[in-house]
Structures are given as C-alpha cells and as structure tokens.
A and B are shown apart, each in its own frame.
Chain A
Amino acid sequence: MLLNWLAKTVNIIDGNTEFTGKIISWFTLIMVLLTFAIVVLRYGFNLGWVAMQESVLYFHGLTFMLGAAYTLKDGGHVRVDIFYQRFSTKGKAVVNLLGAIFLLLPVCIFIFYISFDYVAIAWKIMEKSPEAGGLPLVYLSKSFILLFSISLSLQGIAEIFRNLSILLLNSSHVPPLNTEVK
C-alpha cells in the first residue's frame, strides 16, 4: 500500500522532470544557433543587438537551473565513488536517502528562503537590464533561482521516496537506481 503510493508519487515527479528535461534540452541547440547568428551578424554585417546577446544568457540560465533536477534523476551529478561504487544497492539507497534529506532539501529550502525577497524586489520594480537596449526581463531571470529550488526539491522528494522503497522492499525486484560513474 505504502509502496504503491510511493511508486505512484515517484512516477508523477519523474515524469514531470523528464518532460521538462526533454524540452529544455532543445535550449542547448537554440543557444548554439543564436550564438552562431550573433557571430555572423556581428562579423559579417556589423549588426548586433544587446537584447539578442542577453537572450542567450536567459536560455543558458534556464537550462542549467532547471536541468539540475533532470540531471539528478538521471544520476548525472558527479559523485566521489571510491567507496560508493562498492556499496550494495541498499547501501547506495541509504546514502541517497540521507543525502536527499539532510543535504539536498535543506540547501534547496534555504536557497528559496534567502532568495525570495531578492527576487520579489526585482518583480516589484519590474527590473530591467542595466544595458541600453537590453531585455527588460531581469526579474524573470532572477526568478530562475526560485524555479531551481522548487524543481530540485521536488526531484529530491522523488529520490527520497525511491530510495525509501528500495530499503522497504525485501525482494530483489527494485526500481532502477541512479548509476553514474564519476
């Protein structure tokens, strides 16, 4: 019963993260195309817009701030795996469970808490780029910090549930565990 509920929640969050990840992975291609266009326009036609340059930074920021959760789900964040790789499946689950509870969640919650006012002020004044001709959307890019904390916390909760069910299950039938070699 509990295991079912855990699995269901994990599936919902995983699905959500997977979907976001698939979408933002296209941003990397957009960044390449935009940067290439900027170079061609500047060196070929002597044209350049600050707004266009800044837009690449927005895609960039959104990519890695939202990508952190997707990368966590896929086990892409580097670990020091000298000992970790020798742990059993349950041993790894203990590390990941404790890590998510005592390291990941506090950090995400703290970053959300300490950045909230910072972002709120940017929204209140509808902060614009300090550059002439820049994008008037600085409040949006500052909000990426909050999006980062929320998405990573959500995925962190999924990791807690996933590893909890690994520990609760006695059979060898376990959901796939993050396996990333540093």
Chain B
Amino acid sequence: MEYLALLMFVVVCFVLLMGYPVALSLAGTALLFAAIGSSFGAFDFTFLGALPNRLFGIINNQTLLAVPLFVFMGAMLERSKIAENLLNAMSMLFGKYHGGLGISVILVGMLLAASTGIVGATVVTMGLLALPTMLKRGYDVKFSTGIICATGTLGQIIPPSIALVLLGDVLSSAYQKAQLDMGIFSPETVSVGDLFAGAVVPGLILVLLYMAYCIGLAIFKPSMVPCIEPEDIAEISAGKSKVQVVLGALIPPLLLMFTVLGSILFGFATPTEAAGVGAMGATLLALVQKQLTVAKLKAVMQSTLKITSMVFLILIGASLFSLVFRGFGGEELIKGLFEQMPGGVIGATLIVMLVIFLLGFILDFIEITFVVVPIVAPILLAMGLDPIWLGIMIAINLQTSFLTPPFGFALFYLRGVADKAVKTADIYRGVIPFIAMQVLLMLMLAIWPSLITWLPNFIYG
C-alpha cells in the first residue's frame, strides 16, 4: 500500500503537466487517491481529520505573515520606478568603464531580487528595464540575457527572500520532528533569521563571482561589454549632478534594504516586523519620489493580494497532499529508501538535491518547499545534517534549476519580455557561465559548510 503513495506522486506529476493550477491539482489528486484507497481499505479517512487544524494553523502562522508584507514591499519598489532610477544612477556612476553597466545591472538586480524575492517579477522587471539599454549600448546579447536571468534568480537566496521565509517555516517544524524522532525532547530550533544569516555569505560570494566574470570580460573581451559614451551618460543624468543622483536615487533604497535586513540579522526585529517596516518604507519612498498615485497603490495592493493568495493556496493544497501521502505510509517508504541508500547521508543528500533540481523544472520553489521538503527534510536532518546548511543548499540548488535550459523558469520569463530579435539559443547559451558559477558555489559550500553556518553561529551563538 505504500506503493500507492509513489503512484500518487507519479500521477500528480502527470496532472500537473496538463496545466491546471498547481495547488488544486495537488489537493484534488490526493483526494481522489484517498477516495480510491479507502474504497478497498488501503486508506483511513480519519487521517484527514487533522486537516481543519492544519488549515487553521496556516491562518494563525505568525512567521508566514511576513509573506504578504514582503510582497507588498517588493511590488511597491517595482511599480514606483525606484529600480529604474537606481539603474540610471548606477550607470551614471560606473558607465564610463568597460563592464560598468553590467556591474550596475548585477547590483540593481540583486537589490530588486532581494526585495521582491520572486524570480518571475525580478526577471521580467530587469528584462524590460535593463535588456534594451544593454543591447543599445552594444553589450553582447548572450552576456546581457545571461546576467539578467542570473541576477533575477538571486531573489531565491539574497535575504529577505520570500523563499527563505517559507523554507524557514517548513524547516523549523522538520527540525523539531527530526529531533523528537531521535529522542531529543528539548529540541533546538531553527528560525527564518538563521536562514537569512546563513544566506548572506553564499549570496555575496555569488554576486562577487558574477562581478568577477563581468570584470574579466572587460579585461579580456572589452568589445562584449563596451563603455557608455560620455554624451549618453549626460543624457541619462538629465542635468543632475553626481551628488544629487547618489543622494536621491541611490541612498534611499539602499538604506531601506539595509534597515530591513539589518534589523532581522541583529535580532532587533522579527522578519514579520521588519517586513512591515520595509513595506511602509517602500511606500514612503514612493511618496517622496512623487511616484505614488492612487492607481499605483491599488495595483500594488491587488498584486500583493494575488501573489499572497497564490502562495497560500499552494500551502493549503500541499497540506492535503502531504496528509494523504502520510496516510498511505509514504514517509516510511522514503525513509526506508534513504536508509538503504549507498553512501549514507552524502548519498541521500545528493539524491534529494538531484530530485529537487529536476522538480525545479516543473515546479516553483513554493510547491517544492511545501510538498517535497516536509517529506525529505526530517529524514535528512535526523541523519545529522545542519538545518541551515540544508535550507541554503536547497535554495541555491533551486536557483540553479531555474536557470538551466531548456526548462528553467527564468529563461521563460525573459523570453516572454525580450525583443524578438534576441534568439532563444542566445538566451540558453548566455546562462551557461552563470550555471557554472552556481555549481562552483555549491561545491564550495559542500566542501566548506562553515561558509553557511559561520554567520548564524556568530550572530546567534
């Protein structure tokens, strides 16, 4: 009867490919299997009696409250031209160097990714904002598309990423469960703040790798990353002095990001509180820069409502799915598989990472976090993995998956907004160096796990 659990997984993948909304496909297929299973006694419906309490747990979850607030903040920054002004300011400062525009795109993309935390939003915004400029200034097509996809997916790991908020919530219960299974009755905890802290060093390494690549091109193949002509810089600056631009367009959003992130990392505020302050700050910023109209506010609120509902419906669907999966004995099955795996914890981790990478082709991080992580994480953690390390590795792994042709989401998004003259093959080829850098980072993190765990240990002891 455990094999029904696996069959359910296979069927759900098939149903998902038909294209009906993921949350309802998960829940509906699981319900169908529960009904079939119970008709010949392989499934006990009392398992689902826990569902109402789980749903109420979702409504009452203080950690997940950070999600709509961060989404609000990101949507506000995205719609109020703050990113656009930021990019202009940066190209004014760095544009006269070879590769300067590329560096600006990396930095702006990083900030935007960190604030919106949603791959699609960042790639689309940067694709509309930066790609035409880069191409107009004579940047290589492959490099331009590659760098936009890569910085767009940074939102996975640069805190305050929504992916890490969701992962933190799931991992904290997985960690509790793993320790209880091991007979530890005063379990240690892992928090969203821990994950944010753990993501700082790997995120910075990744950004530095991207920048190093850009600088390398500037040195060895300067024609791929030309500098901006002085008259074009004058056009961008529109008569403003450097000081004005730095004070007006550069400092405020940077200050906002550092306030939000710093208050979480140094323990002044919970992620939820920081998200509230960030959302308020972004609104005030838009107001000060005279970008806030009633129409824009309404658009921000509606996009917040839709993205939040989308995330939480998946959570609802996934909780029904995982209850049924457990009811069929699926968890024992996976556990048994892992225990027979050659190579112990390393083998099991590799397999999990591979599966998550492949699932990343069809599912977004939300579904993977809510469906796959609760099943595999308690087992891996009970085998002795560090929860922060596991969380960050999952996030970077998914980020790589979103970049990988031919199915990576970031590529689809960019294809959607890029000019028809940009060839799909160029987009595919352009991301390859960045995928290589991601893989390099994952290898580094696997060899030196303290790159992840050092900062959280240092801050939180």
Which residues of A pack against B, CB within 8 Å? Answer: 21-22, 24-29, 31-36, 38-39, 42-43, 56-57, 60-61, 63-65, 67-68, 70-72, 74, 76-85, 87, 92, 95-96, 98-99, 102-104, 106-107, 110-111, 114-115, 118-119, 141-142, 144-145, 148, 181-182
Contacts and interface: CB of A to CB of B under 8 A. Distances in A.
B19 A67 contact: no
Interface string B44-63: 00001101110110011010
Contact of A79 (B19, B302, B317): B19
A70 B72 contact: no
Given A32-B276, A82-B17, A114-B49, A181 B22 contact: no
B262 interface: no
Contact of A57 (B23, B55, B60, B276): B60
Interface stretch (B97-105, B169-177, B193-201, B306-314): B306-314
Contacts of A99: 18, 20-21, 24-25, 28
B275 interface: yes
B21 to A, nearest CB: 4
Given A21-B305, A29-B301, A60-B68, 17 more contacts: A32-B280, A38-B273, A64-B308, A67-B309, A77-B21, A77-B313, A79-B22, A82-B362, A104-B24, A110-B48, A111-B316, A114-B49, A115-B51, A115-B52, A115-B55, A142-B52, A182-B120
A103 B24 contact: yes
Given A114-B48, A114-B51, A78 B21 contact: yes
A17 to B, nearest CB: 12
22 contacts: A21-B302, A22-B302, A25-B301, A25-B305, A32-B279, A32-B283, A35-B279, A38-B276, A57-B59, A57-B60, A65-B312, A68-B313, A68-B316, A71-B313, A76-B309, A77-B313, A82-B17, A83-B19, A84-B18, A98-B20, A142-B59, A144-B59
Contacts of A141: 56, 59-60
A94 to B, nearest CB: 9
A68 B51 contact: no
A83 B304 contact: no
B28 A104 contact: yes
B304 A28 contact: yes
Contacts of B309: 63-64, 67-68, 70-71, 76-77
Contacts of B312: 64-65, 68
Nearest to A21: B305
Contacts of B25: 99, 103
Interface residues of B, number: 69
Interface in B370-388: none
A78 B16 CA distance: 10
A81 B19 contact: yes
A106 B312 CA distance: 19
Interface of B is mostly: helix
A-B pairs with lowest CB-CB distance, top 4: A84-B19, A35-B276, A103-B28, A99-B20
B19 A28 contact: no
Interface of A is mostly: helix
Given A103-B28, A111-B51, A39 B276 contact: yes
B198 to A, nearest CB: 24
B69 A32 contact: yes
A43 B363 CA distance: 40
Contact of A74 (B17, B120, B306, B308): B306
B310 A76 contact: yes
A106 B297 contact: no
A104 B68 CA distance: 24
A83 to B, nearest CB: 6
Contacts of B306: 67, 70-71, 74, 76
Interface in B116-172: 120
Nearest to A99: B20
